[in-house]
Structure 1
Amino acid sequence: MKLFKIAFVVAFLSAFSVLGQENVKHKVTSGETIFGIAKQYKIKASEIYALNPSIKEKALQLGTILLLPSKSHSQTKSSPEIHTIAKGDTFYGIAKKYGITTVKITEYNPNLNPSDLKVGDLVYLKPQKKDSSVVNVPKVKEALTKESQVENVENLEDDEEFSNDVIHVVKAKETLYKIAKQYDTTILNLKNLNPEVTATLPVGYHLVIKKGNQPDLPVKPIDDNELPEALPLDESSLAQADLLINTASQYLGSRYRSGGTTAAGFDCSGLMYTTFKEIELNLPRNSSGQATVGTKVKRKQAQKGDLIFFATNRKRTISHVGMITEVSETEIKFIHSSTSAGVIISSLNEPYYAKRFVQINRVLD
């Protein structure tokens, strides 16, 4: 009997020890998302959430220690340093194949345009030394990208046409006094044109400097009562949304460029087109076309990763698009490429966008 008890205790302790070794620890670094970490370790996002319930519905913090199942950890230890582009390859597919993140691929290949990959291009999967003997193709790539940009501009209709109001996008540390002086106007005039403005101007705010001839009529958004209730995004789709936000945020500060789809310059739909290619979702190439993709959802049910559309042209038709990055009870923030400020994050609370808001589409499902 004693022998049986001893054997049972030994077996129990052995089993406990094995279970303890089934998980590995991962420290979150800059730019990582749950979706990207899951790809890196060849596991599912749901498995990460199961082992780390405290991170659900929260922003992933830098330095967080995550427990991960170790079943595929050994597979990530060795991988080739270079991948040669084949027909149909995307950064997303390459990242999935080699168990790394698209953020890392972008970091290791700053001269490659993810939306314009050519068969035979070389993609680095690890950081490269300056004396690398591998043949590089940045100059050829740059030339191809320029040709592509010219072709895009010629074949696309204007994606965004602002009304003829004079608009100033507020920069850091700017004041009403400084802006009034710049445009040879008065603080009183700016306050009359922007009655909602307080003493502190938020960075990125669209300040009306002068009204144009076009009447500033509000666009009638789609009635929420006409839309069915939408199901919330699941964990996998939320992880994809994090990846998309992270991808688009890499381009913050890039200038506006009509027909642009690269860091050299984006128009609004070009930014969305390039961003969503990271998850192998090919959107139409202009905002009105993108507005037909997915399912329209009520404003109160908006979630990060949803597309948000505006009518900014004189015809009052959909002509501008962004992607929602943050939703709270009182505010919706979105990333987009503005004609006046390039790639920035704005708020739907800004009167300029509140008056021109049309609809929100859910494309992650």
Structure 2
Amino acid sequence: MVFRLIIVLFFFSVGVFSQEKFIKHKISKGENLSVIAKKYGVKTKDIEEANPNAPKILKLNSVLLIPNNNKKGTTKKTEIAANTTPAIISNSGQHEVREKENLWVISKKYNISVDDLKKANPSLENEDLKIGQKLNIPSSAVVSNEKTTKNQNTEKPEIISSTDVEVVVEVKPKETKYLIAKKYGITVAELERQNPSIKKKLPVGSVLKIRTSKEKADQQIKDNSVASQTQVAENTGTTSETTEAVKPEIIPATTDVEVVVEVQSKETKYSIAKKYGITVKELEKQNPFIKRKLSVGYVLKIRTSKEKADAAAGLSTTPQSNENLSTPSQVADNSEIKKDTTTVFRVGNHSDLVNQLIVNATENIGIRYRSGGTTKAGFDCSGLMICTFNNFDIKLPRSSIEQSRIGMKVNSEEAQKGDLIFFRTNGRRHINHVGMVVEVLDGEIKFVHSSTHGGVMISSTKEPYYGRTFTQVNRVLQ
């Protein structure tokens, strides 16, 4: 009996000693020895020595003994901290890659650099991101992310303050998610988060609810008001006298003439329509046989104003065009200009065409990457450019390296919307990626392209990956 009592007292004293000397820690998701050691202010070696039987790969919810270097008074505080903070830190130890995320987006989320992210995940140097891939997040990012979370919790009343308002917007023709998001000062991802119904498609006439700053909302109301007033002024005129003065010039049949045009080499529907002041749709309506194809030598009948016909005839290189309006010989708007074996397409209304190209390309944001793809079923990088420009009868070569040989090379500081931008990715020695410039601001070039890891998206040369692989900018339109 006395012997048993001695054994009980021995184990009780050992238990008390171990409680004073060690702290029990339950392992959470994403934690490793270095994270745990940093949390308790001890060395990794100390934890290994305190747990000689622990496996090399830590198991979730298993318990480790942590050497307690503090006094009794601080032990309780440490235990409380250990019980309250792991949830945030363990969740931030790893990140699961989601759709449309890239290294730049993830690095911004955790307030770290892309280089730090690559150091923590060496495989990223040779492999592209995959949806569902687990990434290790540096411990420094865990702390900053925790602080951000705390700040967000405390600043909640400011987010829902009177400076933010909700506006109701109806989607108009040719508007894209990118244009709407930019207009209201938010990202495409934020626009989709606020309106989940548009994640797959953005139908014309859809009603969106957008939360934005009061300044942005007021600016858009002002812009829309000016635009509507301008449209009313264009449609009705400022006075009845102006309307009466303009009417006789528009209605009389004597101002409309029919010209017969033979399609010349390098001419497109777009260039011909622009020259005669009509749309491509109207040109096809007047000449239905060109809807599928426009071949050199076709004879077109075009009804247009006398002024446009005279102007087009004045551009002719043959004398008979001035004598007979019915058979003018044309010079193509996008005639080929050879300079160092490059080709530049000349267009009539440059800024209007460029804006339409950007709208057309950005409408494909979210469509998946597909090698060799040139349709909405999936695009590769050069396929997106071919499809976009082909919609305006501008033919581009098939591959990115061939596309890099047309147009005129310009310095990156001179880049403009509509230019093609080229890269050498994955350590290649030759150009293997292309996009189209959609915005240039303070040395930053934003471009739309089809990426292997995110499909059609907008990226920036400020992202380290694209800044490092950038090669050249080519101007193909003038």
Higher relative contact order (CA 8 A, sep 6+): 1
Q: Does the pair score TM above 0.5?
A: no
With the shorter chain as reference, the TM-score category is 0.3 to 0.5
TM-score by length of 2: 0.32
Q: Which structure: greater helix fraction?
A: 2
